[in-house]
Structures are given as structure tokens and as C-alpha cells.
């Protein structure tokens, strides 16, 4: 790495880590959580990104990092490689260029891929249940387990995943060397309720289950706690400097009422976060939607164990209840970044910094993941405003 890029990398990292630790760095850090925005800005189709890792990890990110001077980012714009999904015949994602127009965002086909009668086998041994029951349901190539096609698909899927991780490692090295840049997170995990409610039972299934078979739901979530801690740590490759990403879904108000939230959502999520923190790993509590009613409960977590990302949660209340003990991150509205004017974006960022960042422990970011409709001029204005008003 050249001396100037190494210096830049170290400056940004020191700034970011200081803010995560509720401290006051030289300036408020600015992070971009970019996805389809990066693709559109870089001039590629969504099919290019979903299907060509060279475009996803290198070409699109080159264009993005050359233009946007951010302290940290969320890595390549697309998490899912179409080639890997085709190798196994994954049935729940539709991709641009395959079933969808080349510029249509991927679609997730939610379903009850786990059935109510699967709970016992899942609880007994979730890893085995996923391999023997869940994967054949979501992977068309596994329809006849043990067949030639199924065996080929299993080998191909695992190889594809290893290839994808290798490309990611090479890309991370390039981002650091050429741009002094890094990803804001290492590793991924989930709230146990979301593990069940997102990909396994689906929203309809889990909402029925908490009424009909609540004890099974609780037992399954108990089983998930150590797995979700382990998955977060293992996917971070042992790193404990940067937070693990936990995107939070069904816990946003009002998917569950507060009583259900207290009973089903929070206890096991809290234990996952505490378990990670006991092992030195902080969580990026990516609170999509509105979490205002739950702030007092979230404040029960150990100091500094999370970075609380604000989307539509009341920022005043978040600051009052969590500020000083947890770093806050957010929340430039995506609507403003799409249809606002650059001056309006700058005014919003100035207000954010003036009102919430004075004591440190604050990071500027968009409220939610940036979509293709974000205006590059507005994203640039967001960054410029941080440089202009964010110095301590």
C-alpha cells in the first residue's frame, strides 16, 4: 500500500473506531450503505452486477470509490451472486436478466419453506435439518437428494461460495491499497426471531406460530442463540475491531405489538448481542423501520455493545435514551436523497450534526440502504456537508 493510502486508511479507521466507541474523533465519520445506487451510478445493469463478480466487486466499486470520499462503506453493491443461486437452482430469488428485466431489482419469494411439523427436527439438530429438509425445498437441483444432479449442485454451490469469498478478500485488499478504504462491518448474524421469520417460516407462518405453538417458537429460538453468535463471529473471520452486521426485520414496530416483542423478539436477540459482546464483538444494530417503542429495552444492553442505526426511529428519543452509551448512526432520509435538492441535504446533515453529534459517538449515513433512485449529487452533498460541518 502506498504511504498516502496507508495514511488515509489509518486516519479513516481511527476516526470510525473512535466514533463506534462513543468518542469524539477529529471529524464525524460518514458511511455509505450503498447497493443498487452504486450499480446505477457506475453505469452497469443490474444483471451485470448480479451475475458478474468482476463488475460487482471491482468495476462498480472503482467508480464509486473514485467519486465518493467516504470513511467506510458496506462493500460490493450486491450480496447475492446469481451464478451461485443458479448452480443449486435456488427457487426464492428472481434475478435481473433471468426471470426479470435486466434493470429490475431482485425479488425475494417469501414462503413457508419450513413447516409447523418441522419444529421438532429443527430443534433437535438445526444444521442437519437445514441440509436434509430445507435445502431440497429451496434448491430445485436437490429435488432428488443423492442423484447425479443433486451431487453436482452440492459440489458446485460450495465451490461457488468459496470462489465468492476469495473474490471478496481480493476486493477488500484492493479497496484498502488503492483507495485507503474499508468495509464498515465484518460478519453477519440475525435475531433468532428473524432467522425463523425471514427465510424459514416467513411472516405469515411465524405470526401464526406465536399464537398456535408459542413454546415451539421459543424452543427453536433458544437453539438458535449459540448458532447465531457463532455465525456472527465465524463470518467475521475472527475480527473484533469492526461491528458484526445484524439487519433487523420483524422487530420493527408494528410487526409485533410491544407484548409480543417483549416475549418473542427481544430476549433471544439480547442474548445474541450479549454473547457476541462477551467475545469482544460489537453489533451494528441495523434497526430498519421504527424502533422508538423499544428504546428503553435496547438501553438494557451493555454500554458500547451496539451501534444503533436510526432509520425511522425518533432520533431525539434515541439520543436521549441511548446517546453517550451507544454510538448512533443515520439517518439522512432516502426520500431526501432521491428527490430533494443538494442544499436541502446539506441543511439536514448540518442539523443532524449540530443536534446529535456534539458529544461524539455519531456517524452520518443514509437512513436505509441506498437504492437506484438516489441522486448522486445528493449523496455527494451529504458527504460534503459532513466535511464542512462535522469537524470537532
Partner 1 sequence: MTGESPKKNVFKNLPPGVCIPWEEKLKDLGEIKGDVNTIKKEWDKLEMFTYLYIWYWVHR
Which positions lie near partner 1, rule CB under 8 A? 79-80, 112-113, 115, 117-118, 120-121, 124-125, 127-135, 137-139, 157-158, 161-162, 188-190, 195, 198-200, 226-231, 234-235
> Least separation, in Å, of the C-beta of 389 and partner 1?
37
Nearer to partner 1 (CB atom), residue 53 or residue 157:
157
User: What is the secondary structure of 257-296 as a DSSP string?
Assistant: -HHHIIIIIHHHHHHHHHHHHHTT--EEEEE-SB-GGGHH
Q: Establish how many alpha carbons lie within 13 A of residue 233's alpha carbon, considering only the half-sphere containing its beta carbon.
A: 17
Nearer to partner 1 (CB atom), residue 196 or residue 295:
196
> Least separation, in Å, of the C-beta of 305 and partner 1?
20
Nearer to partner 1 (CB atom), residue 42 or residue 196:
196
User: What is the secondary structure of 137-190 as a DSSP string?
Assistant: HHBGGGSSTTSHHHHHHHHHHHHHHHHHHHHHHHHHHHHHHHHS--BS---B--
> Least separation, in Å, of the C-beta of 35 and partner 1?
14
How far is the C-alpha of 241 from the C-alpha of 239, rounded, in Å?
6
Nearer to partner 1 (CB atom), residue 42 or residue 223:
223
> Least separation, in Å, of the C-beta of 229 and partner 1?
7
> Least separation, in Å, of the C-beta of 153 and partner 1?
12
> Least separation, in Å, of the C-beta of 136 and partner 1?
9
Q: How far is CA 148 from CA 131, 140, 154, 155, in A?
A: 17, 13, 10, 11
> Least separation, in Å, of the C-beta of 391 and partner 1?
39
The helix (run of H) or strand (run of E) holding residue 235 is: helix 214-235
Number of H helices, E strands in the chain: 20, 9
Q: In 10 A of CB 190, how many CB atoms?
A: 23
Q: In 10 A of CB 192, how many CB atoms?
A: 25
Of 253, 338, 362, 246, give the one whose Cα is nearest residue 297.
253
Nearer to partner 1 (CB atom), residue 107 or residue 355:
107
Q: Establish how many alpha carbons lie within 13 A of residue 74's alpha carbon, considering only the half-sphere containing its beta carbon.
A: 23
> Least separation, in Å, of the C-beta of 45 and partner 1?
23
Nearer to partner 1 (CB atom), residue 272 or residue 386:
272
Residue 85 DSSP one-character state: H
End-to-end alpha-carbon separation of the chain, Å? 29
Nearer to partner 1 (CB atom), residue 125 or residue 147:
125
The helix (run of H) or strand (run of E) holding residue 339 is: helix 334-339
> Least separation, in Å, of the C-beta of 349 and partner 1?
32
Q: In 10 A of CB 298, how many CB atoms?
A: 22
Nearer to partner 1 (CB atom), residue 38 or residue 84:
84
Nearer to partner 1 (CB atom), residue 136 or residue 258:
136
Amino acid at each position: 500500500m502506498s504511504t498516502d493510502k496507508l495514511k488515509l486508511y489509518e486516519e479513516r479507521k481511527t476516526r470510525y473506531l473512535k466514533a463506534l466507541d462513543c468518542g469524539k474523533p477529529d471529524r464525524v465519520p460518514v458511511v455509505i450503505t450503498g447497493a443498487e445506487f452504486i450499480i446505477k451510478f457506475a453505469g452497469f445493469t443490474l444483471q451485470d452486477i448480479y451475475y458478474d463478480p468482476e463488475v460487482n466487486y471491482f468495476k462498480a466499486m472503482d467508480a464509486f470509490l473514485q467519486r465518493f470520499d467516504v470513511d467506510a462503506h458496506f462493500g460490493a453493491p450486491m450480496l447475492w451472486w446469481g451464478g451461485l443461486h443458479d448452480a443449486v437452482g435456488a427457487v426464492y430469488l428472481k434475478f435481473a436478466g433471468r426471470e426479470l428485466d435486466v434493470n429490475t431489482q431482485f425479488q425475494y419469494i417469501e414462503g413457508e419453506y419450513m413447516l409447523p411439523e418441522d419444529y421438532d427436527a429443527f430443534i433437535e439438530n438445526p444444521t442437519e435439518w437445514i441440509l436434509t429438509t430445507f435445502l431440497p425445498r429451496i434448491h430445485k437441483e436437490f429435488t432428488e437428494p443423492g442423484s447425479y444432479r443433486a451431487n453436482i449442485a452440492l459440489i458446485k454451490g460450495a465451490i461457488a461460495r468459496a470462489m465468492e469469498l476469495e473474490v471478496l478478500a481480493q476486493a477488500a485488499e484492493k479497496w484498502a491499497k488503492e483507495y485507503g478504504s474499508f468495509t464498515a462491518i465484518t460478519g453477519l448474524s440475525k435475531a433468532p426471531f428473524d432467522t425463523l421469520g425471514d427465510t424459514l417460516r416467513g411472516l405469515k407462518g411465524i405470526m401464526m406460530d406465536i399464537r398456535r405453538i408459542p413454546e415451539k417458537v421459543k424452543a427453536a429460538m433458544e437453539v438458535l442463540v449459540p448458532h447465531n453468535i457463532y455465525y456472527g463471529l465465524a463470518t467475521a473471520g475472527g475480527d473484533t475491531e469492526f461491528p458484526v452486521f445484524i439487519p433487523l426485520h420483524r422487530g420493527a414496530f408494528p410487526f409485533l405489538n410491544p407484548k409480543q416483542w417483549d416475549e418473542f423478539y427481544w430476549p433471544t436477540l439480547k442474548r445474541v448481542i450479549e454473547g457476541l459482546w462477551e467475545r469482544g464483538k460489537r453489533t451494528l444494530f441495523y434497526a430498519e423501520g421504527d424502533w422508538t417503542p423499544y428504546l428503553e429495552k435496547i438501553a438494557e444492553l451493555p454500554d458500547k455493545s451496539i451501534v444503533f442505526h436510526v432509520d425511522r426511529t425518533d432520533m431525539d428519543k434515541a439520543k436521549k435514551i441511548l446517546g453517550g452509551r451507544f454510538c448512533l448512526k443515520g439517518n439522512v432520509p432516502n426520500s431526501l436523497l432521491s428527490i430533494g435538492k443538494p442544499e436541502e441535504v446539506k441543511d439536514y446533515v448540518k442539523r443532524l450534526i449540530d443536534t446529535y453529534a456534539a458529544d461524539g459517538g455519531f456517524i452520518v449515513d443514509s437512513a436505509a440502504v441506498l437504492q437506484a433512485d438516489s441522486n448522486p449529487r445528493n449523496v455527494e452533498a451529504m458527504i460534503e456537508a459532513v466535511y464542512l460541518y462535522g469537524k470537532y
